[in-house]
Structure 1
Amino acid sequence: MRVLVTGFAGFIGYHLCRRLLAEGHAVTGLDAFSTYYDVNLKHARHRDLAQSAEFEAVEGRIETPGLLHDLIGRTGPEVVVHLAAQAGVRYSLENPQAYADANLIGSFNLLEAVRAHPVRHLLLASTSSAYGGNTILPFREADRAVSPLTFYAATKLAMEAMAHSYAHLFSIPTTAFRFFTVYGPWGRPDMALFLFTRKILDGEPIEVFAGGAAERDFTYVEDLVEAVRRLVDRPPPLPGAHVERMPGDTLSDCAPYRLVNIGAGQPLRLDAMINILEVALGRRAQRILKPLPPGDVPRTHASTDLLHRLVGSMDSTPPEKGIAAFVAWYRAFYQV
């Protein structure tokens, strides 16, 4: 296949590109190398991917007028995986404009580009934060998502709605997936596991929100990439196609559009995650207990029933194994 991955130098984009290249596909990656977190880490991911002759890297911002239109027209991808976004729940309280630019305008530019240059399958990354104030667990794709708690979540919900409208109007087979707290080697420095690891090794205290009682559906990155890769080959059917709906299917009644959770389906308390991390590091953490910040939810839990019905059964990496793999990568990368 010819595949375009936006956000290729990001955590998930890097792992997905590696997987696609290992399978022999031709991959074009677009990334802005934004300074939201350490650009050196993004450049290191880029250097690793650039070893493949089947990889082309393009630097640019998705909100730049005409960039995506020209790029897709030139490279002719059969599949587009849209991972580029301004990420981070808490940062959206500080700089909401960055989210409007990347997540709204940038995603609009992508939809217009795909409208002009149709693809076999468009896949879009959304977030578990879209479930917002929902309190019924586990989160199911059919649950109403109308109460976002942050502007970040609101922009991702808006992207889902925009994508549905384009799928309906222009028959673009589209899958949107909601990710749940992804972790693993090459992870994001702004996320808890990375932050805790750095501070514990540096002898600094860590801030533990909600007394450690907050729960997250931690999803190992290779498991997530496996799910995305399988979904690439399952585009929603075009209008008029006969299809038997499976239980819990989110296939739209009026568009080739589907929404799918990608998570482990096994929530873990924050304090339990820290305990596992301490074992992997061989060090104890100094913990400062703090209340949950604005916009954070006390727990997330993905229903993965639809995912497994679509792509088959999948193994879930145990947290002990996944956290140990992250620690091994961190020590090797930063030589600590």
Structure 2
Amino acid sequence: MNDGNKTKINLRNKSVFITGVAGFIGSNLAKRLLSTVEGVKVVGLDNMNHYYDVRLKEARLNELEQFDNFSFVKGNLADKAVIESIFEQYKPEIVVNLGAQAGVRYSITNPDAYVEANLIGFYNILEACRHSYDEGHTPVEHLVYASSSSVYGSNKKVPYSTDDKVDNPVSLYAATKKSNELMAHAYSKLYNIPSTGLRFFTVYGPAGRPDMAYFGFTNKLLKGETIQIFNYGNCKRDFTYVDDIVEGVVRVMQGAPERKNGEDGLPVPPYAVYNIGNQNPENLLDFVQILQEELIRAGVLPEDYDFEAHKKLVPMQPGDVPVTYADTSALERDFGYKPSTSLREGLRKFAEWYAKFYK
């Protein structure tokens, strides 16, 4: 880790607040902390909404309930009273905001959910962090929050670097994520709250999100339905395995941007943003090919499954981009880390999990 501009945080015995804890990344992060960090206490918030199969969220929560140091609050990020009561009761020193309404396409049909969770919800988190600095409260040492590769919009330059201008979102979802970065910057500057945004690139793995392509494809193929491959297969995605994402988040949690004053005596905002991706964009058609092979290997689909009969190449969807590609050199420089799980290895773990969970 490049200590020049980071304040080191030891996670032992810390109180960590994770929003979206029954979600894909949130549950994996909570499990990792609870099973590897001595004395850590995790409080998780989730609204358990029906955006996708709630049984998955319940299964993830059940796993977390086995840990003594885990507390769960069912509630909404947009409900200020709930957020305030969590800060009063659990006094979190580190906050990881992963709770959000996800999905690009859904933001076109259901915009209210995004404004509520991603804008009002994030504002409530920032306010609670700010008030943690009031007298008699436990100050938040680091706010880590999920941004998204979607903020790059239709940027032509690849790979995407955090130095690029990102002023051209092509979906409301992307606009809310960019807004989170702007709001965090303002709060870091005004109230000296150390914050780090993480732009996640297509995250996948076991017990992932059913609205994601690999999961949806699997469900459809199993039912004998046809899968649609957008942009006639000319899509590239920087697929990132969930364990790689969690490892990145855990490392980042332990290095907060340093609080220091500038020449004017005012805080230099303790603010940072990183990409977490695989630096290895995969063509959608190759991805589908590997997925097929792994689903057959795991016994989810029969050996003689006729894939060609179930594939349809279709045009691009609104809000989608043709390529995502992360430049992760800054993460490597500051935290000595870059994701490395190969697509085949990751999809193999997904296929094996799927066979077990749905059989």
Q: Same fold (TM over 0.5)?
A: yes
Contact 1:216 1:299 in 2 (8 A): yes
1:197, distance to aligned residue in structure 2 (A)? 1.0
1:100 matched to 2:115? The reply is: yes
Cα separation, partners in 2 of 1:96 and 1:202, compared to 1, 3 Å: same
What one-letter code is carried by the residue in structure 1 that aligns with 2:33?
L
TM-score, normalised with respect to structure 2: 0.89
1:36 to 38, 46, 51: 51
Q: Is 1:300 aligned to residue 300 of structure 2?
A: no
Residues 1:127 and 2:141 are matched in the alignment? no
- CA–CA distance in 1 between the matches of 2:103 and 2:205? 17
CA contact (8 A) 2:240 2:339 kept: no
The answer as to 2:273 corresponding to 1:259 is yes
SS at match of 1:292: coil
2:311 is aligned to: 287
Alpha-carbon shift at residue 4 of structure 1 (Å): 0.5
Q: Give deviations 1:166-201, integer Å, cap 9, x for gaps.
A: 011111000001000000011000000000111112
- Describe the SS at the equivalent of 2:286: helix
Name segments (4+ residues, structure 1) moved above 3 Å.
Answer: none
Question: What CA distance in whole angstroms lies between the structure 1 residues aligned with 2:329 and 2:131?
Answer: 34
| Deviation of 1:241 (Å) | 8.7
Q: Which residue of 2 aligns with 1:15?
A: 28
Partner SS, residue 118 of structure 2: helix
Say if 2:189 is the partner of 1:168. yes
The match for 1:320 is: 344
* Post-superposition offset of 1:239: 1.9
Q: CA deviation at 1:240?
A: 3.1
* Contact kept? 1:4, 1:77, Cα under 8 Å: yes
Change (3 A) 1:284 1:10: farther
State the shift of 1:284 in Å. 4.5
Give the fraction of aligned pairs with identical amino acids, expressed as a percent.
Answer: 46
Quick check: 1:127–1:177 contact (8 Å CA) kept in 2? yes
Instruction: Let me know the Cα RMSD of the aligned residues.
Output: 1.3
Equivalent residue in structure 2 for 1:143, among 161, 164, 171 = 164
Alpha-carbon separation, structure 1, partners of 2:322 and 2:49: 30
Contact 1:200 1:284 in 2 (8 A): no
Q: Is the 8 A contact 1:69 1:112 kept in 2?
A: no
Q: Which amino acid aligns with 1:265?
A: Q
Greater alpha carbon shift after TM alignment, 308-317 vs 134-143:
308-317
Distance 1:300 1:192 in 2: 15
Separation in structure 1 between the aligned mates of residue 212 and residue 121 of structure 2, nearest angstrom: 23
| TM-score of the pair, normalised by structure 1 | 0.95
- Determine the C-alpha separation between the residues in 2 that align with 1:292 and 1:330: 28
Q: CA deviation at 1:212?
A: 1.1
Deviation for aligned residue 1:93: 0.4
Q: How many residues end up aligned between the 2 structures?
A: 325
Mark the CA change 1:168 to 1:212 in structure 2 (over 3 Å): closer, same or farther. same
Kept in 1, the 8 Å contact 2:15–2:91? The answer is yes
Partner in structure 1 of residue 65 of structure 2? 50
Question: Any conservation in 1 of the 2:151–2:175 contact (CA below 8 Å)?
Answer: yes
- Map 1:56-95 → 2, pairs under 5 A: 56-95=71-110
Determine whether 1:268 maps to 2:282: yes
Q: Gaps (5+ residues) in structure 2? A: 1-13, 133-138, 297-304
Residues 111 and 313 of structure 1: CA distance in aligned 2, closer, same or farther (over 3 Å):
closer
Unmatched 5+ residue regions in structure 1? 243-252
